[in-house]
Structure 1
């Protein structure tokens, strides 16, 4: 699942896909309706790929939480985001047992549930979405290792021949320049 192009825009309901960038902002597409709209650079935007849920030990990326939800609910819709606080907390405990109950608020869980259901309804969450992403991550990790190995290989550097520096003598100011300075000083005084 590619969350790096899916965003949430403050003040606008739903989720959007980034289509293209403009000078003054972005063109986005609503994942539910498919309608395109433009947003300005001043809009508050959150990339789903950059969001994580607090646990007592670490922060778990939203991708992993969505994967847990999808596996628990067999890639189908979950509870409604308008469920009671107790139902939302029970849901969260079932998909991420060690989530930080003090730092993850019911409003955060509502967003999580709403976003998951929107992505599932749009066909973005399915069994293939999580498998492909894991394979891409593995390939990317392997590429990083190869690049790191290539960077560590010693390269032979040839020493540049030494050249002597020549210093040009300072030029004396011409008599014409001196006289123009004196005439300027007389006019000011």
Structure 2
């Protein structure tokens, strides 16, 4: 399953798999507990394939950050937990992405990236390749 079917819903923990669209929103299934939720248009929803991390040169798609973590961890889960101290999280992220913008990428963002990667790994979603050429380069 590709990242364009995986959602982050504001105010709800974890990640969700898009199941179907409805007239007023959509139905999603939690990757944490497999419970289904109905999400309306008023919720703040982000599709993982649309999220990017700031670097000093550009915005790097989350898919590529996940690929870098996967290479570092040899396909396994992260060696650092998302609840680690701020300095540990920043050191880990610096190993993965040495040119990330420290002024615009916060410890809370790093926590989310690590938590999301591990959650995707637990659910067998490990193909972070760019299946479709949707390089939306906005300048």
Matches within 5 A, 1:158-177: none
Q: TM-score, normalised by structure 1?
A: 0.67
Mark the runs of 5 or more structure 2 residues left unpaired by the alignment.
135-139
Q: Distance in 2 between matches of 1:20 and 1:33?
A: 18
> Which runs of structure 1 show a deviation greater than 2 angstroms over 4 or more consecutive aligned residues?
none
Q: Distance in 2 between matches of 1:50 and 1:41?
A: 18
Which is richer in helix? Answer: 1
| Cα shift at 1:34 | 1.9
Corresponding position of 1:25: 25
Matches within 5 A, 1:1-189: 2-78=2-78, 79-125=80-126, 129-130=127-128, 133-134=129-130, 136-137=131-132
Corresponding position of 1:146: none
- Please give the per-residue CA displacement for 1:69-90, whole angstroms capped at 9, x wherever unaligned: 0110111111111100110001
Q: Distance in 1 between matches of 2:36 and 2:11?
A: 16
Larger radius of gyration: 1
Higher RCO, Cα 8 Å, sep 6+: 2
| Cα shift at 1:92 | 0.6
Q: Distance in 1 between matches of 2:82 and 2:31?
A: 18
| Cα shift at 1:32 | 2.5
The alignment covers a number of residue pairs equal to 133
